[in-house]
Each structure stands twice: as structure tokens, then as C-alpha cells.
């Protein structure tokens, strides 16, 4: 039986309600610095907490996490916070997975 996973999108530690592509130039005009997930060669991934589509009012997607809903839900610690891969099953629900400190 396969584990139930949910894809979650984050901007820092802020969870976004879905993600969508916006032209790279429009995103970089608002967020010139930092790593932002690419959609393709022309677009970057962005999202909003309310899930409403906008090409001018958004947050950049900095992390994409696959959260295992049936996982152990162990206490989140350094192993999760410093993770390089995108799979999480701990108590933070992906909020801190790979986010550092």
C-alpha cells in the first residue's frame, strides 16, 4: 500500500495554498534576491496563502515538500530543518523541512 503524500508549497516558513507560474521578470522585479523554484525557462513558481491567483500580489515558492500523511510524526529537529531532500513525515508537517535553523 502506498503512503498518502501531500505536496506543500512554502515561501520561507509560510505555507502557500497551491502554486502557479509567473514570468521570471515580474517575480524578480518584486523579489530580486534569493532562490525561487523554477516552473520552466521563462517562469518562476509563486503562490498565495489564500489560493487566489494574482500576477502582482504573491510570495515566491522557495521550498516544495512532499509530506507523508501516514508518517511517524516524530518531533521536528535538526535532521528535518537541515534536510536537502523534499520528503517529510515529522510533526512540523513540512513547515520547517529544509528551512535551516
Asked whether the beta carbons of 53 and 98 are under 8 A apart, the reply is no
pLDDT at residue 1 above 50?
A: no
**40 in any annotated domain:** yes
**82 in any annotated domain:** yes
Per-residue pLDDT band at 101 (split at 50, 70, 90): low
**69 in any annotated domain:** yes
**46 in any annotated domain:** yes
Per-residue pLDDT band at 23 (split at 50, 70, 90): very high
- Compare 89 and 62 and report the one with higher pLDDT: 62
**96 in any annotated domain:** no
Asked whether the beta carbons of 53 and 41 are under 8 A apart, the reply is no
**68 in any annotated domain:** yes
Mention every residue, 6+ apart, whose C-beta is less than 8 A from residue 14.
Answer: 49, 59
**100 in any annotated domain:** no
- Structural domains in the chain (count): 1
The parent domain of residue 55 ranges over: 5-88
In this predicted model, what pLDDT tens digit does every residue of 24-83 receive, in sequence order? Answer: 999 999 999 999 999 999 999 999 999 999 999 999 999 999 888 887 788 888 888 888
**97 in any annotated domain:** no
What is the per-residue pLDDT for 93?
83
Amino acid at each position: 500500500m502506498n503512503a498518502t503524500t501531500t505536496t506543500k508549497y512554502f515561501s520561507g516558513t509560510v505555507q502557500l495554498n497551491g502554486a502557479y507560474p509567473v514570468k521570471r521578470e515580474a517575480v524578480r522585479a518584486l523579489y530580486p534576491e534569493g532562490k525561487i523554484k523554477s516552473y520552466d525557462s521563462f517562469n518562476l513558481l509563486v503562490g498565495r496563502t489564500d489560493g487566489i491567483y494574482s500576477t502582482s500580489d504573491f510570495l515566491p515558492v522557495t521550498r516544495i515538500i512532499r509530506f507523508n500523511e501516514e508518517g511517524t510524526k516524530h518531533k521536528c529537529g535538526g535532521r528535518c530543518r537541515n534536510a536537502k531532500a523534499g520528503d517529510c513525515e515529522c510533526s512540523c508537517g513540512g513547515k520547517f523541512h529544509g528551512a535551516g535553523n
